[in-house]
């Protein structure tokens, strides 16, 4: 029997790729290059399933390609704002994602960035590497306390709640959050978390603000000049959500003029082509989208895609269907 043809747009952990090879006629991206729109269109025309990642832009122009063979996009990741959902629905394309398995690793990176920004970790690393460090002195690289400080969470889903647990139970931080609906009372009680009615209420109270909302048109530039101006001059902004949630130009200006103390970023507008002005600032910590980048997590994400593909080709219920 002919095996379904499956395309993987980027390299996955080897153990997952081997499982794919055993079941499907699979094509791997051997040199791991980002696919162009033309390559993605060709993939949709020639494969039964295409498995994209966040770096694959799939707007209506790509999804509406003629003579499409593909019936399912098995997205490697939780977020899917890189896919035009309306166009996919109109085309009858099924979309799945990989929720649940990357919660702790992404929350760990958010806490890493918070600590790096608060304690000037990246700046200190650069100083030591430069050979200009002359030794300890009482006033060198003074920084901000984390223990007992106030953390504001924009969004309060699984990743935000995991970060809140680490921050509250590990560092004694006070937790505020903003979300359209109130959190489960048991979760809020465990974290002593207080819901704010709006960003305008939350931002002025926080020492650290961490973003955990989806990307897309509704949240594009949610953090803009006006909202950055509501933050304390001693506050830090952390983003492990999506780059377009923050107006990069406004953030750079706020950091440059010390209207906020610092920022820690794992995601960017137009990544990997982030605004070059970020690299001129000492008070921003920059990571290359490492949120889920542990061996165990990325393997689990691949296994989620495998489960969704198996359910689709076997005619069963898809465990993580988005569309």
Active site residues: 242, 271, 289
Exposed, middle or buried by CB within 10 Å (0-12, 13-18, 19+), for 149?
buried
CA angle 50, 52, 56 (to 5 degrees): 125
Exposed, middle or buried by CB within 10 Å (0-12, 13-18, 19+), for 288?
exposed
CA distance 135 to 107: 34
Exposed, middle or buried by CB within 10 Å (0-12, 13-18, 19+), for 284?
buried
């Amino acid at each position: 029997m002919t095996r379904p043809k499956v395309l993987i747009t980027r390299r996955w952990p080897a153990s997952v790729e081997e499982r794919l090879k055993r079941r499907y006629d699979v094509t791997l991206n051997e040199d791991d290059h980002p696919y162009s729109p033309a390559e993605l269109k060709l993939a949709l025309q020639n494969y039964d399933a295409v498995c994209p990642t966040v770096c694959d832009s799939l707007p209506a122009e790509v999804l509406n390609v003629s003579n499409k063979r593909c019936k399912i996009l098995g997205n490697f990741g939780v977020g899917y704002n890189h896919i035009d959902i309306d166009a996919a629905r109109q085309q009858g394309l099924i979309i799945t994602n990989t929720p649940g398995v990357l919660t702790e690793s992404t929350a760990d990176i958010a806490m890493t960035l918070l600590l790096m920004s608060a304690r000037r970790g990246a700046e200190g690393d650069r100083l030591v590497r430069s050979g200009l460090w002359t030794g300890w002195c009482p006033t060198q690289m003074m920084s901000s306390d984390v223990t007992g400080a106030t953390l504001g969470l924009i969004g309060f889903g699984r990743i935000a709640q995991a970060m809140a647990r680490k921050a509250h139970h590990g560092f004694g931080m006070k937790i505020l959050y903003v979300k359209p609906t109130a959190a489960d009372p048991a979760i809020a009680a465990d974290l002593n978390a207080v819901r704010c009615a709006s960003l305008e209420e939350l931002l002025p109270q926080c020492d650290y603000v961490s973003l955990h909302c989806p990307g897309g048109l509704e949240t594009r530039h949610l953090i803009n000049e006006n909202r950055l101006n509501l933050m304390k001059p001693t506050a830090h902004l952390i983003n492990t959500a999506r780059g377009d949630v923050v107006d990069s130009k406004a953030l750079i200006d706020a950091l440059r003029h010390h209207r906020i103390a610092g920022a820690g970023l794992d995601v960017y507008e137009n990544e990997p082509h982030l605004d070059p002005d970020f690299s001129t600032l000492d008070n921003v910590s920059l990571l290359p989208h490492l949120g889920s980048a542990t061996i165990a997590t990325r393997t689990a994400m691949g296994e989620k895609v495998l489960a969704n593909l198996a359910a689709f080709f076997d005619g069963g219920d898809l465990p993580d269907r988005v569309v």
